[in-house]
Structure 1
Amino acid sequence: LPRSVRIPLVATYQQGNLRLVLRAIRELRRRGLSITDEAIASGLAATQWPGRFEVVGDGPMIVLDGAHNPHAMRALVTEVKTFLPQRDERHLLFGVLADKDYAAMASILFPLFSRVTLTSSSSPRALPADSLAGIAAEMDVDYDLTGSVGEGLATARAWLRPDDALLIAGSLTVVREARALLLKEQPPAA
């Protein structure tokens, strides 16, 4: 296997996935499949996982993560503490689906942020943002209530200063909608 490879995935929870991939490659090679080090390096360097601790903006930093259950939220907390500690303030845009354990997710994630913007995606399964307001109030979290991901994104960004960070999380549908809006704003690559 190659000695060093550049991998664009930054989250530490993705290291376990990488180890699994490398074990699978070793096993395939052991069974006679010819996989070159160059192919491995090229494949790993080209790996993308949209919406999984994906940095889509800097100054302020904007991160998308599709964590949508308590286990994934705990892994996300590690990433926030690792990659966003130096930011002046951390803001959260948060929306969930109604069938998820949103109270547990909020209790894990909300304390890390100076301000939380609550929102709902366009999914018919989305929890109305006002259902999260009581949880935020009980936790004494500063929050804003919005009716759509677009409105939530605009509201959250209005609070941001250049050295702040915004994490968008809670459901894959919220992340997908926010990602589409954010990427539409970016100029095309030269």
Structure 2
Amino acid sequence: MPTPKRLTYEKALERLLGLVDYERIRNHPPAPPRPDLRRVVALLEKLGNPHRQVPLVHIAGTKGKGSTAALLTSAFLGLGHPSGLFSSPHLHTFRERIRLNGEPLSEAAFAALVEDCWPAVEAVNAMGSHGNVTLFELLGAMAFSAFVQEGCHWGVIEVGLGGRLDSTNVVDPAVAVITSISIDHAAILGGTIAEIAKEKAGIIKPGAPVVIGPQPPEALEVFRKVAQERGSPLTYVPDDYTWERTSSDIDGQAFSVTGPSGTRNLWIPLLGFHQIENATVAFAVLELLEKRNSNATSSAGKIKLASEELANGLSKVQWPARMEVLSKSPVLMADGAHNAASLRRLHESLREYVSFEDLILVVGWGTDKESEEMALVVAEMAPKSVVVGKSRHPRSMTADSLAELLRRSGVPVTDACSNIAEAVRKAMSLAGPNDLVLATGSLFVAAETREEVLGIPSEVYPEFNAAAAPAI
């Protein structure tokens, strides 16, 4: 009897994109998802509960959660532990969202996971009581399944949005992590730091430790209160650790971290003060895990922080589109800063890490962003000229609308382009050999800049019709 043909990658994407994708809807739904996760629980039960079979680190935050997740995964690998990473969004292909031992899934592996999980999706949808499985929910289930199949010692899970109601919040992690927060997705998460902190604090589980990165006082107050109520030991990184950059160049930076176990000297190929902060948070997680499982009888998942292996792991981290240098004469950099706080951090880091004469910006961002404040930060960066572009993402602001907004803020807009590739070419034509061209404003702008400069092919998806989205 002939062997049935496996699903192709193209057909797998068709199935995936047939599910509701709230990342690509032009406007977020007026109400947040239902305040329960029964649909995800039902889906995972039908798959054998893979999220309970691998020790997990669950990471939420506004800024730095993706970088921290990547640093932690790379450290696990350096320490000899097969590891998986689930993150979002992707730059060029859905396969990037599920990484095994640092590498995106192959097309064949991705398609096989879609095919293997699809009967469970259909079964949950047929129940009718919890609504239909979404694209993000299926991807999370695929990630958990992939971690089990690969025999991962550790899985690192990045929250998609918020924390309390995020579909990843069905896990019982070995440790929860909350990186620095700021105002973002205010229509969904709340318009104050305290409101957003309450949503992020939803990932703190009873009795499980939580590691907190540097926070505004009002956010830290929320996290301490929730941790105390749930009996969760809390590590606030700035209380127990100090970190200092010791040297840097355009390829990376050396730094020292001092904590309960002493001082470590490390190097990462990521630029920016905030990346040293993220690396320190990751190190604090590792120290906590080393202490908590020191009596474990199995070597699988047991953390032993040998200096050479840790340093080697962190030095190999790959996390593109974060102050990423794509060319050097002139310097062309792509950064996915997507809100006012992250743009301000980027601004603070530029002169410290890159030597240049004039700054030329390529900018674009979404209609759901804090546009007025972001425009003010762009003005503070004092660019010589700005070229506005529109990303392919369906929620991207039109180039003309963004150009008008920036001009009102006193930003010298040179041109407004219909796409990012054109904007990059225009900006490069304006730059002298000692200038810096920076593409930023969203991760999608950074991704499309990489595609133009590095010749990376991208998956282009049909625009999602928000009007067709079922109620949630």
Using structure 2 for the length normalisation, give the TM-score: 0.37
In structure 1, the residue matched to 2:203 is none
In structure 2, the residue matched to 1:115 is 385
The structure whose residues are more often strand, as a share, is 2
Runs of 4+ more than 6 Å apart: none
| Distance in 2, Cα, partners of 1:122 & 1:44 | 33
In structure 1, the residue matched to 2:445 is 174
Give how far 1:56 is off.
1.3
SS at 1:81's partner residue?
Answer: helix
CA shift digits 1:142-185 (9 cap, x unpaired): 22111101110111111011100011000111111111111128
CA contact (8 A) 1:114 1:141 kept: no
Tell me if 1:98 matches 2:367. yes
| Distance in 1, Cα, partners of 2:337 & 2:411 | 20
Give how far 1:40 is off.
0.7
Give how far 1:138 is off.
2.2
What is the one-letter code of the residue matched to 1:170? G
| Distance in 2, Cα, partners of 1:87 & 1:151 | 23
CA contact (8 A) 2:271 2:353 kept: no
Deviates more, 1:34-43 or 1:142-151: 34-43
| Distance in 1, Cα, partners of 2:409 & 2:400 | 15
**Structure 1 unaligned runs (5+)?**
186-190
SS at 2:375's partner residue?
Answer: helix
In structure 2, the residue matched to 1:158 is 429
Tell me which of 277, 281, 288 is aligned to 1:16.
Answer: 277
Give how far 1:77 is off.
1.3
CA shift digits 1:97-132 (9 cap, x unpaired): 111112211110234211000010011111001012
SS at 1:67's partner residue?
Answer: coil
What is the one-letter code of the residue matched to 1:20? V
Aligned pairs for 1:72-91 (under 5 A) are 72-84=342-354, 86-91=355-360
Tell me which of 266, 270, 273 is aligned to 1:5.
Answer: 266
| Distance in 2, Cα, partners of 1:141 & 1:102 | 13
- Greater relative contact order structure (CA < 8 Å, 6+ sep): 1
| Distance in 1, Cα, partners of 2:440 & 2:386 | 11
| RMSD over aligned Cα atoms | 1.7
What is the one-letter code of the residue matched to 2:431? L
| Distance in 1, Cα, partners of 2:387 & 2:274 | 25
SS at 1:4's partner residue?
Answer: strand
| Distance in 1, Cα, partners of 2:324 & 2:412 | 25
Identical positions, percent: 30
Using structure 1 for the length normalisation, give the TM-score: 0.90
**Structure 2 unaligned runs (5+)?**
1-260, 295-301, 457-472
SS at 1:55's partner residue?
Answer: strand
| Distance in 1, Cα, partners of 2:285 & 2:333 | 30
Tell me if 1:139 matches 2:400. no
In structure 2, the residue matched to 1:188 is none
What is the one-letter code of the residue matched to 2:373? A
